[in-house]
Amino acid sequence: MSTQAIVGPHAALQAQIRWRWSETVFWLATLLPFVLTPNYLVLASQIAIAALFVLSLDLILGFCGIISLGHAAYFGVGAYAAGLASKWGWGEPLSGLLIAAVAAGIFGYLTSFIIVRFRHLALIMITLGIGLVLQEAANSASWLTGGFDGLQGIHTWPIFGKFRFDLYGYTAYGYALAVLFVIFLVARRLMHSPFGLALRGIRENGQRMPAIGAPTHAHIRTIYTIAALIAGIAGALLSQTTETVSLEVLGFQRSADVVVMLILGGTGRLYGGLIGAVVYMVARDQLSGLNPQFWYFWIGLLLIAVVMILPNGILGGLALLARKAGVKP
Amino acid sequence: MPPVFGVLFDGLAYGMLLFLLSVGLSVTLGMMNFVNLAHCSFAMLGGYVTVTLMNGYGWPFFATLPAAFIAAALASVVLERVFFRRFYNAGDLDQCLLTIGIVFISIASAAYIYGTIQQPVQLPSYLRGSIAFMGLNLGVYRMFLIGTALLITIVLVVALETTRFGAQVRAAVNNQRMARGLGIDVDRLFAVTFALGSGLAGLGGALAIEIVGLDPSFALTYLIYVLIVVSVGGLGSIAGSFAAAMVLGVSDVAGKYYVPALGAFLIYLVMIVLLMWRPTGLFGRR
């Protein structure tokens, strides 16, 4: 029997899927803001949304090696889709997420045909270009998007008809956190599947993968569409919880921020993006309180420090420390 | 003459500016494959040097131009020694992040020192105004800009084609490893080219103030234009950069003149279409 050979990789994947105690601690800790910092729940909901957005980028950048400087395009499509649905009289939040996911997913699928053809600098430029084109398009189509003034008149209905969105962000944070958790589970399962392994193969060597019979382009298109879809959901969460959509959701700044968050936390680890989002958003909240103009000085310094000292991000550095100390995470 | 020639003239002047800003990046990218997103920070530095020397110390405009060149070149040498050198063999992403970090720091520093307002410059009287030529009003400064950029282009091309240094640069761009094998000190060559390219960017930044203004966001706004020029023109190609800068300059000015509602939409679209048609750029080989 050749079961031995089949069990090998299977068991390896199974071992990765197993839930670790540190993960349980992490997700329990996400409930702490309800108790410890109830005044910061609005910020916490923003962090959860940013974390979801970073997660979507991690799927393509961390696992598949596709550098994108225009990922905000999909975030923005989702934000506008959910916002418009609500403005036109359908403010039910969960189906709003679905609408946004479909819209962003379709846009992601269409653009993925362009993405697969490029690598390196051309890829960076193409993703940047797609983001910029979309922002300019949204700016000129002000009859639809409200242009520079933003989309007004969004009203999100209570979740399940029960939980209203309050001023303090209780519902917003609970809602964003629940969506983040569910999607995280899906992404985690996906990345520990044979498909996830194939993506890592593409990241490590894009030329050899087709040689062993992997449909590289189809894989890239699939994961790019999934990432776009998740980014769209993150955008929809933002427009539903803040009840406004501004052009800034499509901006280059947002695309750059999300890359910074991911690198800060560590790529290709799922949790790296989440931790990066927390650190980045909290730091921005604190530092811009001190001196808003100088915020980017510190971010720049942080970026240089991360690239020079912690090439694998915070989580990579922690893992290294843990290995040295002999602790198994 | 119809306004189309006026638009063409302004577009050409704008294209020349973009060429000055981007040619250094094109050559260094072609040579070392180092994605230097901080290139426009050097241009911004040049602009601020000119502003400071003119408004603070009363230097004449022309005397500040070499100062802008030298300041940007010196700053680039320092950064190259301290940071960039360690990242030549790193991935695209690390290079992008390191240099975008430098961009952020430069923007914040400029905002801290000079504030976020546009910086004024007072040009000498003989560069102001315009000349009527066959029914067209041609701005004197734009003519000066086109003349300067053309002169620099000619000097660059001649230097690259005829001098020993130029031959070494061409060899290193063409095949870095082979050039090393032949005993060319590519690292030193790169440092010199990098300084020259950044110096040109600084000069471009100083010349750009009159046309596009100068504020801390310059380093990021024009970075996008410069990257478009470089990627469309093809890495390491001066002719490619020149052609791409002209196409971009003219289409940007024409787009803003004829269909202002589209804004910058047109040039981004031009870039995507050109890159899809030729992923390595108009004149790129790799």
The dihedral through the CA atoms of A179, A185, A188, A190 has a sign that is negative
Q: Which residues of A touch B269 (CB under 8 A)?
A: 133
Q: Which residues of B touch A311 (CB under 8 A)?
A: 94
Instruction: With CB atoms and an 8 Å threshold, state whether B262 touches A140.
Output: yes
In a domain, A303, yes or no: yes
Enumerate the H helices of chain A as residue ranges: 3-17, 21-29, 32-36, 41-57, 63-64, 72-87, 93-115, 120-140, 142-145, 170-191, 194-204, 208-211, 216-242, 252-265, 271-290, 295-309, 313-325
On the CB side of A251, CA atoms within 13 Å amount to 13
Residue B205: its H or E element:
helix B186-212
Residue B185 backbone dihedrals phi, psi, to 5 degrees: -80, 85
CATH 1.10.10 fits B3-277, yes or no: no
What's CA A288's distance to the chain center, in Å? 23
In a domain, A6, yes or no: no
Give ipTM to 2 decimals.
0.80
Place of tokens 């082979």: B178
Tell me how crowded residue A256 is: count the other CB atoms within 10 A of its CB.
23
Q: Which residues of B touch A295 (CB under 8 A)?
A: 108
Q: What is the CATH number of the domain that holds A41?
A: 1.10.3470
Place of tokens 């730091």: A283
DSSP string, A271-306: HHHHHHHHHHHHHHHHHHHH-GGGHHHHHHHHHHHH
Partner residues linked to B133 by β-bridges: B136
Burial of A286 (0-12, 13-18, 19+ CB in 10 A): exposed
Number of structural domains found in chain A: 1
> In a mutagenesis test of the A interface, which of B83, B217, B265, B270 is the best target, namely the one with the most A β-carbons within 10 Å?
B265
Distance CA B106, CA A300 (A): 9
Nearest residue, CB atoms, A303 vs list B104, B108, B235? B104
* Gap from B179 CA to chain A (nearest CA, Å): 23
Q: Encode chain A (329 residues) as per-residue pLDDT tens digits.
A: 444 445 677 777 777 778 888 888 888 888 888 888 888 888 899 999 999 999 999 999 988 888 888 899 999 999 999 999 888 888 788 888 999 999 999 999 999 998 888 877 778 888 888 888 898 888 888 778 777 777 887 877 777 777 777 777 888 898 999 999 999 999 999 998 889 888 988 888 888 888 888 888 999 999 999 999 999 999 999 998 888 888 888 888 888 889 889 988 888 888 989 999 999 898 888 877 766 667 788 888 888 888 888 777 788 888 888 888 776 55
In a domain, A11, yes or no: no
What's CA A195's distance to the chain center, in Å? 19
Q: Where are the domains of chain B?
A: 3-277
- Maximal CA-CA distance, chain A: 68
Q: Encode chain B (286 residues) as per-residue pLDDT tens digits.
A: 457 788 888 889 999 999 989 988 888 887 777 888 889 999 999 999 999 998 888 888 888 999 999 999 999 999 988 888 888 877 778 888 888 889 989 988 998 888 878 887 778 777 777 777 776 777 888 888 999 999 998 998 898 889 998 888 888 888 888 888 998 888 888 889 889 989 999 999 999 888 888 888 888 888 888 888 888 888 778 888 898 899 888 888 888 888 777 767 777 888 888 888 887 777 766 5
In sequence order, the 6+-apart residues with CB closer than 8 A to the CB of B125 are: none
Task: Report percent pLDDT > 90 for chain A.
Answer: 26
What's CA B187's distance to the chain center, in Å? 22
Q: So what's the pLDDT on residue A4?
A: 46
Q: Which residues of A touch B231 (CB under 8 A)?
A: 121-122, 125
